[in-house]
Amino acid sequence: MITGAGGQLGHALAETFPDARALTRADWDITYPPPPGLAADLVLHAAAWTDVDAAEDDPQGAAAVNVGGVQHAAELGAPLVVWSTDYVFDGTKREPYVESDAPAPRGVYGRTKLHGEAAAGGRAWIVRSSWLYGWTSKNFVRTMLRLGAERDEVAVVDDQRGAPTYVGHLAEATEHLLGLPFGVYHVAGAGECTWADFAEAIFEESGLGTRVRRITTAEFGARAPRPAYSVLRSERGAPELPHWREGLRECLARL
């Protein structure tokens, strides 16, 4: 069973697991317990609150989805895959975060995702990933393509560094992850870049002549704190993904 099938990761999982029952929010709002009779052998729990800034304004709402939702998915009694985030770290490290590094979330979103990891229980694969993008839903790639078509120049943050991750690659890696023991795994695109680097690559690969004006996080003025460095790598043998730029090309081909 896939929860959150209407989102970008849910769409990718539905392609990778075509025999799964794909549930959107209309089928099951995971802030409520599972409907009577709902059953599965494996739950791919992609439903999540992903609006980082809005979580600061509505911490209870974010927790209801990212903590309560995981708990409700676990109530089905089946093994569970839960996707978490690089935002469980504070970003003060200057080399890749591995699974044994101590989490220290700075904002509401990261805290709810960390608490959601605990709510998953002992029969779960926790998949921490970062900077997700795909061919559906709201994400950085689709936003840059829209802005790039409208403007000659776009201001993009250049002091946050991470590993963009294509949801198609992440979904495929999930198949391989199921052969590993339960626990926490870091699975993110190979390579690293800043958001400004990522934007320039998007414009270059899509043939847009839009310029990128590099700004600081402070200049951007987002409500929620972001980790300055949040590259994720695995010390536990998690599947390795292709380079983020290869994922970008695959994503743009679908768009």
Structure tokens at 80: 């569970």
> Taking the alpha carbons of 38, 5, 32, 74 in that order, is the dihedral positive or negative?
positive
- Mean pLDDT over 87-105 rounds to 98
Is 6 within a domain? Answer: yes
CA distance 173 to 72: 25
Is 91 within a domain? Answer: yes
Is 30 within a domain? Answer: yes
CB 148 within 8 A of CB 203: yes
Is 8 within a domain? Answer: yes
Question: pTM of the predicted model, to two decimals?
Answer: 0.97
Q: What's the mean per-residue pLDDT of the chain?
A: 98
Is 118 within a domain? Answer: yes
Structure tokens at 43: 């739950």
Q: What is the pLDDT of residue 72?
A: 98
- Distance in Å from the first CA to the final CA of the chain: 26
CA distance 49 to 139: 14
Residue-wise pLDDT tens digits, 56-92: 999 999 999 999 999 999 999 999 999 999 999 999 9
Residue-wise pLDDT tens digits, 106-156: 999 999 999 999 999 999 999 999 999 999 999 999 999 999 999 999 999
The CATH number assigned to the domain holding 58 equals 3.40.50.720
Q: Give the residue numbers marked as catalytic.
A: 109
Is 216 within a domain? Answer: no
Is 14 within a domain? Answer: yes
Q: What is the pLDDT of residue 93?
A: 97
Q: What is the band of 173 on the pLDDT scale with cuts at 50, 70, 90?
A: very high
Owning domain of residue 235: 2-139+164-191+231-242
Overall domain count for the chain: 1
43, 107, 112 from 224: Cα distances, Å: 30, 6, 13
* Amino acid found at 162: G
Q: Which residue has the tokens 């949801």?
A: 167
User: Across-strand partners of 213?
Assistant: 155
CA distance 205 to 41: 41
Q: What is the band of 163 on the pLDDT scale with cuts at 50, 70, 90?
A: very high
For residue 91, the number of C-alpha atoms closer than 13 Å in the C-beta half-sphere is: 19
Is 247 within a domain? Answer: no
